[in-house]
Amino acid sequence: MSRREEIYVPALTGKKIPILTLDHKWHQLFSQVHTNNAIKKAEEELNTLLKQQGKINTETKDIKKIKNRLMDEIVNMMEDSENPETSKKIEDNKRLIEECNEKLDTYRDENLELPKMINNANKKLMLLTMEACYEDIQENGTQIKEITEWIDNIRVELKKNMIRKEEMQRRNQDLYAYMHDIFGADVIEIFDMKFGVDNQKDTE
């Protein structure tokens, strides 16, 4: 067991985890999170086990149907069992039924192990998924912190420049007022035209 599994697996004991590759939300998650080779490999392993389980379940049902048909045929042929041809057919059916039983036993044994294997593969994929998500969260957190600091610095600079702007506007208004008082409105209007000043005393 890896260090990661030693830490997290005990915490997952008794927790019901959906089969991730069958969950559309898990697939949607990776439109937001960068996947990696380890996750892809774990996904393939889980899907292989699920396909194996599905194949066994399907074939088990098919074999049971064949077995039942063979047994029904034997029952129907019992009245004519003295007939050599019928007797041979009955023996053939019994042999086929035995083969069905052997195959069913094999599938039964495999099906006893598969749920545990699927559960372990699913937990492995979950741990890799969580690691990828938290790596993204941490990376985003670092960038968020950097952007926040940049915004804070811009706000400080913006506030300083707004104060400077207000001070310069106030000084312009004072200068304009002093010149107006000293030289009069007529003279000021002439110089306004000469220097291209358009009511700077009111500029904000």
Claim to verify: residue 37 and residue 82 sit in the same structural domain? yes
The whole domain housing 161 covers 157-202
Q: Does residue 103 contact residue 60 with C-beta atoms inside 8 Å?
A: no
pLDDT tens digits, residue range 30-78? 877 777 899 999 999 999 999 999 999 999 999 999 999 999 998 988 8
Per-residue DSSP letter, 33:
S
* Number of domains the chain contains: 2
Read off the pLDDT of each residue in 75-95 and give the average, rounded to a whole number: 87
pTM of the model: 0.67
Instruction: Judge whether residue 6 has pLDDT over 70.
Output: no
Instruction: Judge whether residue 192 has pLDDT over 90.
Output: no
- Sorted by sequence, the CB contacts under 8 Å of residue 47 that are 6+ apart come out as 21
Q: Does residue 56 contact residue 152 with C-beta atoms inside 8 Å?
A: no
The answer to whether residue 149 is domain-embedded is no
Claim to verify: residue 127 and residue 174 sit in the same structural domain? no
Single out the residue of 135, 133, 124 nearest to residue 19, CA to CA: 124
Claim to verify: residue 111 and residue 197 sit in the same structural domain? no
The answer to whether residue 174 is domain-embedded is yes
